[in-house]
Amino acid sequence: MKPATRSLIRYRGEECLNCGTPLDAEDKYCHQCGQLNSTKQLALKDFFGEFFSNLFSYDSRIWRTIKHLLFKPGFVSKEFIRGKRLSYANPFRFFLSVCIVFFLMVQAQEFFEFFTDNAVENTKAENQDADIDVDHGLFSLKIDDINNNESLTREQLKEIENQPYVGKMVAEQIREQQNIQEHNDSVISKTTKDYKENGLTPITQTQLDSLSSTERFFKQIDFYASYEERYKISDSKTALSRMEHDNTQWNQAIYEKIVLIKSITNNPSVLADIILPKLPVFLFLFTPVLTLFLWLLYARRDFTYMEHLVFAFNVFTFVFLSMILLVLVKWISFGYINLAPFFFWFIGPIYFYKSMRNFYDQRRIKTVLKFLLVSFIFVIGLITGISLLLLVGIALY
pLDDT attached to residue 114: 57
46 is a domain residue? yes
Looking at the predicted structure, is the pLDDT value of residue 133 above 50? no
Of residues 302 and 174, the one with the higher pLDDT is: 302
pLDDT attached to residue 371: 92
- Max mean pLDDT range (56-65, 91-100, 145-154): 91-100
pLDDT attached to residue 251: 84
Which stretch of 2-11, 146-155, 301-310 has the lowest confidence by average pLDDT? 146-155
Confidence of residue 175 (pLDDT cuts 50, 70, 90): low
Q: How do strand 132-135 and strand 140-143 relate by DSSP bridges?
A: antiparallel
Please tell me what DSSP assigns to residue 9.
G
Give me the mean pLDDT over the 1-12 stretch.
70
Give me the mean pLDDT over the 194-214 stretch.
75
60 is a domain residue? no
Q: 124 and 29, same structural domain?
A: no
Looking at the predicted structure, is the pLDDT value of residue 331 above 70? yes
Looking at the predicted structure, is the pLDDT value of residue 359 above 90? yes
Q: 299 and 369, same structural domain?
A: yes
E-only strand ranges, the chain: 132-135, 140-143
Q: 280 and 375, same structural domain?
A: yes
Considering only CA atoms, which of 23, 25, 30, 21 is closest in space to residue 10?
A: 25
Cα separation of 333 and 326, whole Å?
A: 11
Looking at the predicted structure, is the pLDDT value of residue 138 above 70? no
Reading phi first (left if > 0) and then psi (alpha if -120 to 50, else beta), residue 244 is in left
Secondary structure class of 303 (helix, strand, coil): coil
pLDDT attached to residue 308: 93
Q: 157 and 46, same structural domain?
A: no
pLDDT attached to residue 122: 54
| Count of helix runs (H) and strand runs (E) in the chain | 17, 2
- Max mean pLDDT range (68-72, 101-105, 116-120, 126-130): 68-72
* Domain extent for 167: 90-187
392 is a domain residue? yes
Q: 29 and 77, same structural domain?
A: no
- Max mean pLDDT range (55-69, 150-164, 319-333): 319-333
168 is a domain residue? yes
Q: 76 and 100, same structural domain?
A: no
Amino acid occupying residue 304:
T
pLDDT attached to residue 130: 38
Cα angle, residue 42 at apex, residues 41 and 43 outer, rounded to 5° = 115
Quick check: pTM over 0.75? Answer: no
Looking at the predicted structure, is the pLDDT value of residue 54 above 70? no
Q: 99 and 37, same structural domain?
A: no
385 is a domain residue? yes
Q: 105 and 28, same structural domain?
A: no
Query: What pLDDT digit, counting tens, does each position of 278-296 carry?
Result: 677 777 788 888 899 999 9
pLDDT attached to residue 295: 92
Cα separation of 13 and 368, whole Å?
A: 58
Of residues 257 and 346, the one with the higher pLDDT is: 346
* Beta bridge partner(s), residue 132: 143
65 is a domain residue? no
322 is a domain residue? yes
Give me the mean pLDDT over the 81-86 stretch.
86
- Give buried/exposed letters for 214-229 (b at 16+ CB in 10 A, else e): eeeeeebeebbbbbbe
Which strand (E) or helix (H) includes residue 272?
A: helix 270-275
Query: What pLDDT digit, counting tens, does each position of 265-276 carry?
Result: 776 665 666 666
Q: 284 and 181, same structural domain?
A: no
Q: 94 and 136, same structural domain?
A: yes
Confidence of residue 305 (pLDDT cuts 50, 70, 90): very high
Query: In the chain, how many domains are there?
Result: 3
Cα separation of 240 and 252, whole Å?
A: 8
Reading phi first (left if > 0) and then psi (alpha if -120 to 50, else beta), residue 253 is in alpha
Please tell me what DSSP assigns to residue 15.
B
Inter-CA distances, 50 with 2, 27, 182, Å: 11, 18, 58
**59 burial level (CB within 10 Å; 0-12, 13-18, 19+):** exposed
Enumerate residues 6+ apart whose C-beta is below 8 A from 10: none
Cα separation of 352 and 358, whole Å?
A: 10
| Cβ atoms within 10 Å of 146's Cβ, excluding its own | 20
Q: 176 and 101, same structural domain?
A: yes
237 is a domain residue? no
Amino acid occupying residue 11:
Y
pLDDT attached to residue 356: 94
Looking at the predicted structure, is the pLDDT value of residue 184 above 80? no
Which among 151, 166, 187 is the end of a domain? 187
| Residues 174 and 124: beta-carbon distance below 8 Å | yes
Output the average pLDDT for the chain: 75
Enumerate residues 6+ apart whose C-beta is below 8 A from 54: 60, 62
Looking at the predicted structure, is the pLDDT value of residue 219 above 70? yes
Give me the mean pLDDT over the 357-385 stretch.
87
